Homo-oligomer: A and B are copies of this chain.
Amino acid sequence: MSTITAVNTYDLRFPTSSTLSGSDAMNKDPDYSSAYVAIATNADDGLEGHGFVFTIGRGNDVVVAAIESLARPLVGRNVENLLDDMRTAWDMFVHDSQLRWLGPEKGVEHMAIGAVLSALWDLKAKRAGMPLWRLLAYMTPEELVSTLDFRYLTDALTPDEAIDMLRRGRAGMAEREATLLASGYPGYSTAAGWLGYADDKMTSIAKEETQDKGFRQIKLKVGQNLDDDLRRLALAREAIGPDVKLAVDANQVWDVPQAIDWINHFHDFDLAWVEEPTSPDDVLGHAAIQRAIDPIPVATGEQMQNRILYKQYLQAGAFRVMQIDATRVAGPQEIVLEYLLANKFGVRVCPHAGGVGLCEAVCHFAMFDYLTVSGTLDGRMIEYVDNQHEYFVNPTRIVNGNYQAPTAPGSGVDMKLDMAERYLYRG
């Protein structure tokens, strides 16, 4: 029996805008930031639950305020009751009858709920002595599904279907786990592609990422100027050769008709996907774009607000690559639902990652999926950017372009807070 004794929050902002790393058609000068929360208990194990929301600077204070407001009432609560019944924890936040007016289930409040629920799952995994990917994979299908909320999803996926899917998914799990621990999970690199980079910087990084570091896909930002895009794509394709995959990312810069026109200039480059052609809210727009640019696949998801949007993208055939994010939705329970939905519709998931812990966090879900949901690595890969890993206790390790499976207990997001402290924002 132990109780929660403290909830500490941190408004961390890294001045990345000074290097133009992270610059794209919509995000000209991001300062990679983290609204970070640590939940402490009076248990003898001394373990804390950590979680965060990734932002790109301004407004990080508002997310911290939302986390504070949500998590403060946890102080004094019984830890075991909370962790043994994560569905009740979910309901307490996601279905709070007053808080849902602030969404429902979207934006600042939903991301803040995600940080708090993630911190609880982090503590649960640490107490179980397992990395989160393994905890999720080794829960029985019934146990895992009992934590999930199918509200607004049952026209696409029911709890019984989810249990069946997870039961089937367990066949061959031990073998896949061995493969994962031996070789890791494919990553791809966005390092070369920022719009702020000159051509020669772009091509030399592209070569380094693929020839030296072993990534088998790179991604370029596009959408500011068509001629620039065509020149950069030709240069990048030449630099990486025909066998490495090449994706592009427009970061929501276009309207629907403009997206169709622009992307239809890209057919010669054998693109792996076009990412975020327009607003992530536009299901019908993405469906129209996907039809009009066939066979180039549409990808999106890093700013998709919740499982209800993912459901519709899948129902409408609005993308062929689904990109989940670790800190956009309400934590592990919603991310697991996203993977189950994707598998039901036969769509591959290639998670979004990037700065300040996104790589460390999101790989757990891809690995869980490989073990017990899709059971395959085919066409799957996790984005990778080499940013702020040094501030993490167990930073992401890439070998031959593959994410190595984390083995430390927890969700992987523990920061070296003493070291990060110089980036604490003070208004």
Contact = CB atoms under 8 A, between A and B. Distances in A.
B102 A63 contact: yes
Contacts of A58: 69, 96, 98-99
A305 B305 CA distance: 11
Nearest to A107: B107
Interface in A43-89: 55-59, 61-63, 65-66, 69
A284 B153 CA distance: 12
Contact of A152 (B66, B99, B282): B282
A241 interface: no
Contacts of A102: 55, 59, 62-63, 107-108, 111
A187 B108 CA distance: 34
Nearest to A29: B97
Nearest to A30: B98
Contact of A257 (B65, B154, B256, B312): B154
Interface stretch (A273-281, A360-368, A413-421): A273-281
B155 A280 contact: no
Interface in A265-295: 278-285, 288
Contact of A284 (B65, B107, B283, B288): B283
Given A56-B98, A59-B99, A154-B257, 20 more contacts: A27-B97, A28-B97, A29-B97, A55-B98, A55-B101, A55-B102, A56-B97, A59-B66, A59-B102, A61-B65, A102-B108, A103-B107, A104-B303, A107-B107, A108-B108, A152-B255, A154-B258, A281-B306, A283-B284, A284-B316
Ranked nearest first, the 8 interchain pairs of A and B with the lowest CB-CB distance are A107-B107, A57-B98, A108-B108, A155-B256, A58-B98, A65-B65, A281-B308, A152-B279
9 contacts: A26-B97, A29-B98, A59-B109, A61-B65, A104-B281, A106-B305, A107-B305, A108-B109, A152-B285
